[in-house]
Amino acid sequence: MAAMAGVSCSSSSTLSTLKKSFTSNSPIFPSFRSLLPQIPKPLSLKTVNPNFKPFLPRRFSSAVSATVDSAEVRQSLKTRLKNGETLYGIFLLGFSPTFAEIAGLAGYDFAVVDMEHGHGGISDALPCLHALAATQTPAILRIPESSATWAKKALDLGPQGIMFPMIDGPKSARKAVSYCRFPPNGVRGSAHTVVRASSYGIDEGYLSNYEDDLLIMCQVECVDGVKKIDEIAAVEGVDCIQMGPLDLSASLGYLWDPGNKKVKEMMNTAEKGALKKKPHDGGAYLSGFAMPHDSPENLKSRGYHMVSGAVDIGLFRNAAVEDVKKFKMSLAKGFEDDDDQKDHKDGEEKYWIADN
């Protein structure tokens, strides 16, 4: 038994020695970690975008409070609007997850995935929402039409906001709000136990907080809507009025001239009506899209709370056109230089011929 004990003790000592050899830094027994390839520390989102702060819905805040610094948690769009911030966003019509991710990393406060004028639908929007979520950038879905079916499918994806087009009065605004709420407060169909909006049923607090977290936006873009815009803004549940300058100019007969004086006057009337009541007094926030004749700074100065200043396709188009133009101009300049050199050479030849 003593011999066995000695063997056991010896084995234990050997194992202990081996263990120390793997963790020591001695020249005889180098650390095992030193044999592993040194992987550089990846860049964090804060390195790429110093203003980055993750967004966590309030229903998750208690669960992560022990591991996430509350000061580093990005607030929801509704909370930031209530705090008086002016938010700057982008419209995404190309349905490219890569462009969506770049938009988020660039620092936009929100991104509108546009299913009204973009080519894509629900299945195309989902990868963009995944990309935006990776950068913790709030997504707003603009649906093709104000209907219960489109609203249901859009909301099940879990965007932070939804935008209803062509709202022309308080009646259509109330319908839009009803599409966003479950019975008995609305007509939204329920599959909350399995959809992305509730983290596929993992988020047990979804039903208690979804109304508070969702930003409902009604788009006013026709003369009839402008006439009743103060009534639309006063509808319970409408959080934000989105102005549609292009459709409004078309309804006035100035499709090709959105900067026309009459269009500007109508926009001014709409803005005053939308801002008639403060949001905390039963009114709504005002959102708009910058135009060549109406900069983001101008919108902000007139009381807009949310401003969109770019479209992904427009940014890429401008960059592509400018890139090609720059190259073509360089070619033309090169030809001119060649012609100048040729003329100079021909002149020299003629000179020598005449001289001889």
Tens-place pLDDT, residues 151-182: 999 999 999 999 999 999 999 999 999 999 99
Split at pLDDT 50, 70, 90, the class of 338 is: low
Q: How many CA atoms lie within 13 A of 53 on its CB side?
A: 15
61 versus 210: the higher-pLDDT residue is 210
- Give the per-residue pLDDT at 51: 54
Give yes or no for residue 39 having a pLDDT over 80: no
Give yes or no for residue 220 having a pLDDT over 80: yes
Conformational region of residue 107, where left means phi above 0, alpha means psi within -120 to 50, and beta covers everything else: left
Angle at 233 between CA 294 and CA 254, to 5 degrees: 40
- Give the per-residue pLDDT at 344: 58
Instruction: Give catalytic status of residue 117 as yes or no.
Output: yes
How is residue 238 written in tokens?
């409408």
Mean of pLDDT values over 330-354 = 63
Cβ neighbours of residue 302 under 8 Å, at least 6 residues apart? 271
How is residue 254 written in tokens?
């100035």
Cβ neighbours of residue 95 under 8 Å, at least 6 residues apart? 113, 118, 119, 120, 124, 125, 127, 128
Point out the least confidently predicted range of 43-47, 126-130, 131-135, 218-222: 43-47
Strand-pairing partners, residue 242, are: 219, 287
CB 262 within 8 A of CB 254: yes
CB 110 within 8 A of CB 137: yes
Give the max Cα distance, the chain. 121
- Give the per-residue pLDDT at 321: 98
Split at pLDDT 50, 70, 90, the class of 28 is: very low
159 alpha-carbon distance from chain centroid? 10
Q: How many CA atoms lie within 13 A of 102 on its CB side?
A: 12
Point out the least confidently predicted range of 47-51, 217-221, 226-230: 47-51
pTM of the model: 0.77
- Give the per-residue pLDDT at 48: 47
- Give the per-residue pLDDT at 189: 96
Give yes or no for residue 233 having a pLDDT over 90: yes
Exposed, middle or buried by CB within 10 Å (0-12, 13-18, 19+), for 235? buried
Mean of pLDDT values over 82-108 = 98
Cβ neighbours of residue 104 under 8 Å, at least 6 residues apart? 111, 131, 132, 134, 135, 136, 137
Shortest CA distance to 304 belongs to which of 325, 284, 324? 284
| Given 117, 119, 130, 280, the catalytic residue | 117
Conformational region of residue 127, where left means phi above 0, alpha means psi within -120 to 50, and beta covers everything else: alpha
How is residue 29 written in tokens?
């027994």
Tens-place pLDDT, residues 241-294: 999 999 999 999 999 999 999 999 999 999 999 999 999 999 999 999 999 999
- Give the per-residue pLDDT at 104: 98
- Give the per-residue pLDDT at 264: 96
User: Which residues of 119-226 form beta strands (DSSP E)?
Assistant: 139-142, 161-164, 215-220
Strand-pairing partners, residue 308, are: 89, 289
Split at pLDDT 50, 70, 90, the class of 9 is: very low
- Give the per-residue pLDDT at 74: 75
Helix-strand-coil percent breakdown of the chain, rounded to 5?
A: 50, 10, 35
CA distance 325 to 216: 42
CA distance 141 to 152: 12
How is residue 164 written in tokens?
């209803």
Average pLDDT of the chain is 84
Point out the least confidently predicted range of 51-65, 75-89, 212-226, 243-257: 51-65
Split at pLDDT 50, 70, 90, the class of 120 is: very high
- Give the per-residue pLDDT at 340: 64
What percent of the chain lies above the pLDDT cut of 70? 73
Shortest CA distance to 167 belongs to which of 238, 118, 77, 90? 238
Tens-place pLDDT, residues 300-333: 999 999 999 999 999 999 999 999 999 999 998 8
Straight-line distance from the first to the last Cα atom of the chain, in angstroms, rounded to the nearest whole number: 121
- Give the per-residue pLDDT at 349: 54
Give yes or no for residue 341 having a pLDDT over 70: no
- Give the per-residue pLDDT at 41: 45
Segment (H or E) for 314: helix 312-355
- Give the per-residue pLDDT at 288: 98
Residue with tokens 């008995």, as numbered in its chain: 184
- Give the per-residue pLDDT at 306: 98
